[in-house]
Structure 1
Amino acid sequence: MRIDEYAELDATALAAAIAAGEVTADEVAQVATEAIDAVAELNAVAHGPFEKPLDHAADGRFAGVPFAIKDLVLHAAGVPTRMGTRLLGDGLVPPTDTHLMERFRAAGLATLAVTTTPELGFNGNSEALAYGSTRNPWNTAHSPGGSSGGSAALVAAGAVPIAHANDGGGSIRIPAACNGLVGLKPGRGRVSVGPDAGDALFGMGCELVVSRTVRDTAAVLDEVAGPLPGDPFVIAPPERPWSQEVGADPGRLRIAVHTESWAGTPVDPEVAAAVDAVAATLEAAGHHVDRRTPTIDWDRLIQTNLVLWCAFLAGSVGAIEAMTGRTAGPDNLERTSWACVEHGRTISGLEICSALDSVNALSREMGRFFGDYDLLLTPTMNTPALPLGHLDANAELTALEWTNRIFDACSFTSVFNQTGAPAISLPLGQSAQGLPIGVQLAAPSNGESLLIRVAAQLEQAMPWAGRRPGVHVARAAATAR
C-alpha cells in the first residue's frame, strides 16, 4: 500500500481492507509510521511514532487501523504522559490504561503516537512550551486549534485516519473546525472518563475522537460508549447503533440558527455566510429553519468557567505535585496556567456552589429552548483558524483575562460543555484564504443519534471529502519521489 492510497481511506474503509486481506495490519502500520514522519513539520506528535503499535484486539471492528491518543486525560499503561506541561518533565508513566483506552484497544485501534495539547488543556490553541507550536496543515502560520490540536493536525494531514480527542470547553469541536474535520462532543456521561475521574471538570469534560467522516465518528462511538462500574450515572442508550443512523432519514426537523456571538465579539462574515449556506441547505432538505437563540447570560457563563476551570486546574496541579514531589510555579508552568492555578487555590466552596447553580440555570434555559427546536445551528468558532500566537498561554494575563481571551474567540462551544448536551462540528465551509470553516449543530440531551443523522445528510449534500490541506502525507510522498 502506498501512502497516497492509505491517506484516501477513512478508518472504516481501512478496517475493511485489512479484514479482506487486501493489506496486512503490519503493512498499514509501516505506511502510517512513514506518514507520521512525513508531516513532522506540523509538530503534532508529543511521543512517537512507536516502533510498533500498542497492543490491541486483532478481532476488533477497527483491527489494525492506525490511531493516535492525545496527551491529556486518557492514558495508556507504560506510555509517558506530559499533559502539555513542563511540570511533568519527561512524563509520568501510568501503570494502567484508562477505561476509554481499554475500549480503544478492544476496538482494534492500533495506537502509534501521542499527540500534542496545550498545557493542561485550557486553551483553544496548541502551543505548549513543553513541545513547541503545533501547526495547521492548511496554513502552517495558523493554529490547529486546541486543545486537541495535535490529533486534529495529524488526521487532517492524512497521517492517521482518526485520533483521540477530548473537550472541556470546545476542545474536540474547535480543532475539528480549524482542520476541516468531524468533531462530535458526546453528551455528558456518554463515554466513561474513569477510573481517574467520575464527572470530569465538574461535568464539562468529555471524550471521543476527531475524524474525516461522519461514519467513522458514529462507529467509534458505538465501540466506546456506555457506562462502566463506578461511573456516577447512567444515561439512556441509543435505540440502535449510531452507525445505523448514517444515511437514515432525520425527518422534518425544527432547526434554530444563530450567527451572532453570545460574547458580543465579532463573527467573521465568511463564517456567518457558511452557517447561512448550511441553513439554506437544511431548509431545501425540508427542515423548518428559524432565526432564534436561547438566552445566554455571557458574564455569568464566563464567571462559571473561571471558577470551575481554575478550581480544576488547581486540583490537577496539586495532584501532580503529590505524585511527583515537584513544586509548581512560574518556572515550570506557563504564565496563564500559573495565574489560573493561583486563582483556583483561592476559590471557596461557596463559589463552586454558585457556579454549579449557574450551570443548572443555563441547562434549564437550554432545556426550555430545545422544547421548541430539535437542533441549534451556529458557527463553531468566531473565525477560521487563528494565527499562531493569538492565544499565547505564556502572556501576562490574569485568570479572568485569559478566560475571556479564549472564549471571546471561541464563543459558541462552551455553552454545551456547561449544559452537557451533545454538539458536533462539521467542515461545511472554506474561507477565501483556503482555511476550513466549521459549523456547529447542537442537540438536547441524548441527541447524538439525531446529530449523526443530520450530519450525514449534510455530508452528502455539501461534501468535503475532496478537500486536502497544503501539508499532506500524499504531497510529501510525491515530493520525496
Structure 2
Amino acid sequence: MKHVHAFTDDVLGERDAVGVARGIAAGEFTAAEATAAALARIDAVNGQLAAIAVDDRERARARAGANGFSGAFAGVPTLIKNNTDYAGLPTRQGSAAVADRPAAAHEPFTGEFLGTGVNVVAASTLPPFGLNASTEFVDREPTRNPWNTDVSAGASSGGSAALVAAGAVPIAHANDGGGSIRIPAAACGLVGLKPTRGRTAGLPASANAPIDLVSNGVVSRSVRDTAYFLADLERQRRVAGLDPVGLVQGPGARRLRVALIADSVTGQPLDTDTHRELMAAADLLEELGHRVEQVPLPVDRAYIDHFTDYWALLAFSFDRFGGKVAGPGFDRTKLDPLTRGLSRHFARRFYRLPSSIIGLKRSTAKFRRAFADYDVIVSPTLAHATPEIGYLDPAVPFGEVFDRLIRYVAFTPANNTSGTPAISVPIGRSADGMPIGIHFSADLGEERKLLELAYELEAARPFYRIQDASSGDA
C-alpha cells in the first residue's frame, strides 16, 4: 500500500480551483506559473498513477502565456476526460479499437467547460467506452488510486479523480452515465456532483437515445469548486425547464427530511465499514437538526435487469456500429473482453429492450415519488469498499466481472435513468484509512439543496486530506 500525492510548496499550494483563480486575479502568480506547477505535479505522480490519456502541455503553456482566460476559474490548469471531443486531441474513449485521430472541433460541453476559464493541460483516462467501474485495461497499466496504489481509482472518470485527489490539478472534468462522476469521487475522497439531466451540455451521441443517461460535471476537492462550476455554466447558458441554481456559497438554513437507504437493490448486505460510515452520516445529519428516517428501496429488484439491458446496449452499439459511433478507423478486433461480453449479453436478450426501457421509466416514477415525502435520499455511494486492482479487470471472465459490477455499483444508476441530481461527499473512512463516499439524491433541478447540504457536512466533518495521511509504504 502506497500513498502518492503531489502537494508541495509551489504556487498551487493546497488551494482549490477558486483559490487558484483568485491568486491569479490578484497578481500573486500568473496563469503560466500555475500551469507550470500543475505539469510538474503531474510529472511527479503520473508514473505511479497512469492517469493521463493524451498530453497537451505545449498548447496549454502557449495559452497560459497569452493569458486570455475569463470565468470563475480563469487560468486554472485542468483535465478533460478523454471521451469528450477537444479540438486537436484524439478522443480515444479508453479503447485501442478507436483510431488515434484528432477531433476536428470541440463538442458542446467542451465549450461550456472552457467558458469557465480553465486551461486544459491533458486528457484523462477512462476504461474502454466508460463501461467499467474501475479504470483498468487489458493492453496498458491501470489507473491507480493515490490513497493506495494497490486499489482502483474508480471509473469511468478515474484519471480525473486520481489526479485531483493527488493534488496535481485542483479540479477536472468528469461525466456520469451510471455513477462515473460519483464512483471515482467516492474511491478517491472527492466531491462528485452529477447534475440534473440537461443542466450541462450532454454527449452528442446520446442526445437521441431512448433514455439519455449521461451528465457532464467535475470532480473537486471542495464543495466550493463544484458550486462555482455549476454557477459559471449557468452564467453562460440558462436551461429551459429548470430553475436556476445560482451561486451556492454555504449551508442552507432549512432542516431537511432525509430518507435513509441502507439496503442494496441486489439484496447483498453492505460491508462493515460502509454500513458503519453510513450510520455515522445519519447520526451527523440528526445532530445537525435534520430528520432522518430509514425507508425501503425506492426501486425494485427488476431494475437491475432493466438497467443492465440498457447498459449492454451501449457496448453493443460500439461492437456492431463502432465506425459510426467512434469514427473512421475503428478496429473491432481490438475491443476489450468486457465490451465484447456486454455486447453478447445484449445480443442474447435484445428482444427485452422495449420492456426494459418501459421498466426504467416506471422505476423513474417510483424513485421520484419518494421526494413527495422527503427532501433528499442518503445512501452509500458504493455497496462495498473500493476494490483492489484486478477485481474488476476487464479480462476477468465475463460472468464473474458482470456480477461483481452489479453488486458494487448498486446505488448510483437510479439517478442516471431518472435524470435526478446526486452528489457523493467524502465524509466516510474505512478502518484502513481509505475514503468512503456518502451519496445524496434530490429531485429534478434541486442541485442547490444538495450543495447546501454538502457545505454543511464539509464544515461539520472536514474532509480528510491525502497530504495528512501517512506517506510511503504502509
Note the C-alpha offset of 1:115.
0.8
Q: In structure 1, what is the equivalent of residue 39 of structure 2? A: 33
- Structure 1 vs Structure 2 CA RMSD: 2.4
Instruction: Identify the match of residue 46 of structure 1 among 39, 46, 53.
Output: 53
Any gaps of 5 or more consecutive residues in structure 2? Answer: 1-6
Partners of 2:202 and 2:17 in 1: how far apart? Answer: 23
Q: In structure 2, what is the equivalent of residue 409 of structure 1? A: 408
Partners of 1:86 and 1:201 in 2: how far apart? Answer: 28
Give the conservation status (yes or no) of the 8 Å contact 1:46–1:114: yes
Partners of 1:265 and 1:468 in 2: how far apart? Answer: 34
Note the C-alpha offset of 1:295.
3.6
Alignment CA distance shift 1:221-1:228 (3 Å) = closer
Note the C-alpha offset of 1:142.
0.4
Give the conservation status (yes or no) of the 8 Å contact 2:42–2:163: yes
Give the conservation status (yes or no) of the 8 Å contact 1:83–1:121: yes
Identity over the aligned pairs, expressed in percent?
A: 36
Q: Which moved more, 1:162-171 or 1:50-59?
A: 50-59
Is 1:76 matched up with 2:76? no
CA deviation profile, 1:290-337 (whole Å, cap 9, x unmatched) = 111334222x222122221122222234443243244413xx111121
Instruction: Tell me which amino acid in the other structure corresponds to 1:64.
Output: G
Alignment CA distance shift 1:371-1:199 (3 Å) = farther
Q: In structure 2, what is the equivalent of residue 198 of structure 1? A: 207
Instruction: Tell me which amino acid in the other structure corresponds to 1:102.
Output: G
Q: In structure 2, what is the equivalent of residue 335 of structure 1? A: 337
Q: In structure 1, what is the equivalent of residue 152 of structure 2? A: 143
Q: In structure 2, what is the equivalent of residue 381 of structure 1? A: 382
Q: In structure 2, what is the equivalent of residue 302 of structure 1? A: 304
Note the C-alpha offset of 1:405.
2.2
Partners of 2:342 and 2:77 in 1: how far apart? Answer: 36
Is 1:440 matched up with 2:442? no
Partners of 2:468 and 2:152 in 1: how far apart? Answer: 14
Q: How does 1:167-178 map to 2 (within 5 A)?
A: 167-178=176-187
Instruction: Identify the match of residue 320 of structure 1 among 300, 319, 322.
Output: 322
Note the C-alpha offset of 1:276.
1.3
Give the conservation status (yes or no) of the 8 Å contact 2:112–2:201: no
Is 1:361 matched up with 2:370? no
Give the conservation status (yes or no) of the 8 Å contact 2:299–2:367: no
Q: In structure 2, what is the equivalent of residue 87 of structure 1? A: 97
Instruction: Tell me which amino acid in the other structure corresponds to 1:358.
Output: G
Alignment CA distance shift 1:195-1:416 (3 Å) = closer
Q: In structure 2, what is the equivalent of residue 395 of structure 1? A: 396
Give the conservation status (yes or no) of the 8 Å contact 1:172–1:183: yes
Partners of 2:388 and 2:468 in 1: how far apart? Answer: 16
Instruction: Identify the match of residue 260 of structure 1 among 263, 266, 276.
Output: 263
What secondary structure, in the 3-state scheme, does the structure 2 residue paired with 1:113 have?
strand
Partners of 2:330 and 2:183 in 1: how far apart? Answer: 32
Alignment CA distance shift 1:37-1:173 (3 Å) = same
Q: In structure 1, what is the equivalent of residue 24 of structure 2? A: 18
Q: In structure 2, what is the equivalent of residue 63 of structure 1? A: 74
Note the C-alpha offset of 1:415.
1.6
Instruction: Identify the match of residue 183 of structure 1 among 189, 192, 203.
Output: 192
Note the C-alpha offset of 1:7.
3.8
Instruction: Tell me which amino acid in the other structure corresponds to 1:365.
Output: K
Q: In structure 2, what is the equivalent of residue 460 of structure 1? A: 459
What secondary structure, in the 3-state scheme, does the structure 2 residue paired with 1:141 have?
strand
Q: In structure 2, what is the equivalent of residue 479 of structure 1? A: none
Normalising to structure 2: TM-score of the pair?
0.91
What secondary structure, in the 3-state scheme, does the structure 1 residue paired with 2:58 have?
coil
Q: In structure 2, what is the equivalent of residue 123 of structure 1? A: 132
Partners of 1:146 and 1:201 in 2: how far apart? Answer: 24
Partners of 1:368 and 1:326 in 2: how far apart? Answer: 43
Give the conservation status (yes or no) of the 8 Å contact 1:138–1:471: no
Note the C-alpha offset of 1:470.
5.9
Give the conservation status (yes or no) of the 8 Å contact 1:191–1:226: no
Partners of 1:418 and 1:372 in 2: how far apart? Answer: 21
Alignment CA distance shift 1:445-1:227 (3 Å) = farther
Alignment CA distance shift 1:180-1:469 (3 Å) = farther
Note the C-alpha offset of 1:124.
0.8
Give the conservation status (yes or no) of the 8 Å contact 1:201–1:308: no
Note the C-alpha offset of 1:196.
4.2
Note the C-alpha offset of 1:339.
1.7
Alignment CA distance shift 1:383-1:164 (3 Å) = same
CA deviation profile, 1:355-396 (whole Å, cap 9, x unmatched) = 221111111111221111111110111223210011111222
Normalising to structure 1: TM-score of the pair?
0.89
Give the conservation status (yes or no) of the 8 Å contact 1:381–1:409: yes
Q: Which moved more, 1:54-63 or 1:153-162?
A: 54-63
CA deviation profile, 1:189-222 (whole Å, cap 9, x unmatched) = 1111154441568321111010000110011112
Give the conservation status (yes or no) of the 8 Å contact 2:189–2:437: yes
Partners of 2:439 and 2:416 in 1: how far apart? Answer: 13
Note the C-alpha offset of 1:341.
2.3
Give the conservation status (yes or no) of the 8 Å contact 1:157–1:471: no
Partners of 2:465 and 2:340 in 1: how far apart? Answer: 43
Partners of 1:471 and 1:196 in 2: how far apart? Answer: 43
Alignment CA distance shift 1:321-1:144 (3 Å) = same
Partners of 1:376 and 1:388 in 2: how far apart? Answer: 30
Partners of 2:320 and 2:230 in 1: how far apart? Answer: 32
Give the conservation status (yes or no) of the 8 Å contact 2:441–2:450: yes
Instruction: Tell me which amino acid in the other structure corresponds to 1:302.
Output: I
Partners of 2:159 and 2:210 in 1: how far apart? Answer: 21
Instruction: Tell me which amino acid in the other structure corresponds to 1:81.
Output: T
Alignment CA distance shift 1:420-1:402 (3 Å) = farther
Instruction: Tell me which amino acid in the other structure corresponds to 2:41.
Output: A
Any gaps of 5 or more consecutive residues in structure 1? Answer: 476-481
Partners of 1:351 and 1:296 in 2: how far apart? Answer: 19
Q: In structure 2, what is the equivalent of residue 478 of structure 1? A: none
Alignment CA distance shift 1:206-1:417 (3 Å) = same
Note the C-alpha offset of 1:104.
1.4
Partners of 2:17 and 2:210 in 1: how far apart? Answer: 30
